[in-house]
Chain A
Amino acid sequence: MLRASIKTIEGSELICPTITSGLGNCGVAKGDVIRAFADAVALRDDDEYPDCRVRAEFALGRVGADGIAMGAGNFSILNCALAAIGAPIDDRLESIAAELGTAIPAHLRRRS
């Protein structure tokens, strides 16, 4: 979905490895601020949260920062539910996982 959405913005290009490494420009506007704030929220990191929140508000506005917090919350739901029921992942997505510097776990891989 990230790749599909960034293609709608002329001149933008996704740099996948930075999503997982946390280093460098990923190609998304304000991506570094979003990544840091998403980390603080998803990990419920009391130490990192205050500064990340302020930076997110300066970059995205108060409502924008709230929107990122909600996105992080929403994807916690999917992560729990799908992992806990063993929803299989099509092995055709292996190339995307590789771009991100990771791999689909064997117990979730489904041959297409």
Chain B
Amino acid sequence: MHWKPARPPASCYFAHERAVSTTLTAEFDALVDREWDRLANAGTWWTGAERVAIADEARRAHLGAPTTGGLPDAATEAARRVSVEASTIRQVDIDRWADDGLDPFAYVELVSVVSRLAAIDVTGFGLGFDERPLPDPQPGEPSRTRPDDAVVSDGWVPTVGPAWAPGSLSAVPDEVEAMFDVHGVLYLSLEQMGDNEIVRDGIHRTQIELTAARTSWLNDCFY
């Protein structure tokens, strides 16, 4: 395990139980291994060093810590806003960041990196672990490829098809794949999503969806 207990346990019961790895914590640890590998390496629009810097800014924003200044201003602001106040972002912000040099396709990748980091950090907290230190960046250059059919349709950024949940990051296909990897471990696979009676790890679908509804409401999310 790369994680360590985060905080004093509430009881001896909890301390004893948490010391034991479960199937789910093992799956989660493997997921973080994969996610850290993705984070450390060049993506479609950012180098590994830039992706790690984006994640660092996101974590700093959550802690209220100042910026490192390691990214261009627009990327720094975007990473911090997505991390702590995504619901306040508007089209004018994305346009302003684009005017300052943040390509909308690069913005989509930034959103993806910060979003998955949020999922990993929130889950790690819930499992009782500290945040894993960010990975060391690996060399490599981004491919900077754009899907021919990615256009701005009904959202604020280019997408392939409508800007709904499955297509939200479709302007950067590798990020879609990464997102579904996370969903499959933390929520349900695409196949499982169609089963309203599924019981996963002793939790019925209604209980999973109650968690979803409550979390979304807490985050000012309406989706």
Question: How far, in whole Å, are A63 and B118 apart by their CA atoms in the complex?
Answer: 21
Once the chains bind, are A102 and B125 in contact (CB under 8 Å)? no
Question: How far, in whole Å, are A87 and B167 apart by their CA atoms in the complex?
Answer: 9
Once the chains bind, are A77 and B118 in contact (CB under 8 Å)? yes
Interface of A is mostly: helix
Question: B24: shortest Cβ distance to chain A, in Å?
Answer: 4
Once the chains bind, are B202 and A44 in contact (CB under 8 Å)? no
Once the chains bind, are A53 and B200 in contact (CB under 8 Å)? no
Interface residues on A, range: 35 or more
Give chain B interface residues in 130-171, CB to chain A under 8 Å. Answer: 154-157, 159, 163-165, 168-169
B11 within 8 A of A: yes
The stretch of B38-46, B47-55, B64-72, B108-116 in contact with A is B108-116
A41-B122, A53-B14, A71-B208 are contacts. A79–B219 as well, Cβ < 8 Å?
yes
Q: 4 shortest A-B CB distances, which residue pairs?
A: A69-B126, A73-B123, A50-B10, A86-B156
A residues lining the B interface (CB < 8 Å): 1-2, 4-9, 12, 19-20, 26, 28-31, 34-35, 37-44, 46, 49-51, 53-54, 57, 60-64, 66-89, 93, 97, 100, 102, 104-105, 107-108, 110
